[in-house]
Amino acid sequence: MADKLKFAVIGGGSWATAIAKMLCVNQEEICWYMRNENAIDHIKNFKHNPNYLSSVEFDTQKLLLTSNINEAVSYADYLIFAIPSAFLDGELAKITLPLQDKIIFSAIKGIVPETSLIVGEHFHVQYDIPYYNIGVITGPCHAEEVALERLSYLTIACSDADKAKFVAQNLSGNYIKSKISDDIIGTEYAAMLKNIYAIAAGIAHGLGYGDNFQSVIMSNAIREMKKFIRKVHKMKRNINDSAYLGDLLVTGYSVFSRNRMFGNMIGKGYTVKSAMMEMSMVAEGYYAVKSAYKLNQGYGAKTPIIDAVYQILYEGKEAKVVFKKLTDQLD
């Protein structure tokens, strides 16, 4: 029966496009929801997404494309959400069908602003979906390298190991290696936090700090991440695993990292608004830092990097001054 279970991808961006590409290797048909009807028409006619990863060519016979999110919900057993966290609540508001019998996997790396919850917790609290029907898809894996079919790694987390294995099998391929984890909360928080640290790395680069400081900020970031996640969800985990450290490193160093790019622009003197207008994609870390900072007011973890990024992005403090103070707090 498991081989008859159906997938739907929710989202039209680069990560949604990459996930659709991976699923098409293993599925005879998938449903793909995106709100942009022009993009849907383009894919039907030209076999690629005009706005994201346009080099990826799809077999359109395998795609049930729709701009009606309820059609996707009705079609699938497994719903994979891959839209920016800032827009998730608005998309969910369009759903009129029950979600309780669906299996939800989040490929979203951020916190839902309306509830200040990570996506898995949002589905559990707001939609009464049990945790054994909720999972997380994390890296280290950039959509752009999936498009290029470069070797990439995924971690699929779910408290139900069978569901994690099933998703892992359907995303795996010649250039995609997947492993499973039961740390659904920790991996999702790590995926959110690494975007904040990538912004910090970008700010440092924009300010003119070199590779030496980059290595220091990354080594401090993984320790800071460990302290934060331990406060949120204490369990046995190896923070040096690729789902945590690996994802942090690729997001902090890669030229494909939109969060690093956003931070670099801030470091060079762009305002938040002008940096956002310049970029064609959403930097999840911008929204995440506000939620993480406020959440940590209750937890009390020592997070100088998160605090510094928050001060720059939300309190309007000068990046050069904030980072000068930050350098004295790192080791």
- Structural contact between residues 266 and 275, judged by C-beta atoms closer than 8 angstroms: yes
Residue 229 CB coordination number (10 Å): 23
- Structural contact between residues 18 and 91, judged by C-beta atoms closer than 8 angstroms: no
Residue 43 CB coordination number (10 Å): 22
Residues in the chain: 331
The binding site consists of 87, 109, 143, 258-259
**Tokens describing residue 7:** 């997938």
Helix (H) or strand (E) holding 311: helix 304-314
Residue 179 annotated in active site = no
Ramachandran quadrant class, 162 (left: phi over 0; alpha: psi -120 to 50; beta: rest): alpha
What's the rounded Cα separation, in Å, for the pair 43 and 208? 42
Determine the residue type at 123. Answer: F
The binding site for NAD(+) consists of 87, 143, 258
Q: Which residues contact 87 (CB under 8 A, 6 or more apart)?
A: none
**Tokens describing residue 127:** 């939609």
Residue 312 CB coordination number (10 Å): 25
Catalytic residue, chosen from 102, 163, 194, 226, is 194
- Structural contact between residues 111 and 285, judged by C-beta atoms closer than 8 angstroms: no
The answer to whether the peptide bond before residue 98 is cis (omega within 30 degrees of 0) is no
The binding site for substrate consists of 109, 258-259
Question: Can you tell me whether residue 78 is helix, strand or coil?
Answer: strand
Residue 331 burial (CB < 10 Å; 0-12/13-18/19+)? exposed
What's the rounded Cα separation, in Å, for the pair 11 and 75? 15
Active site residues: 194
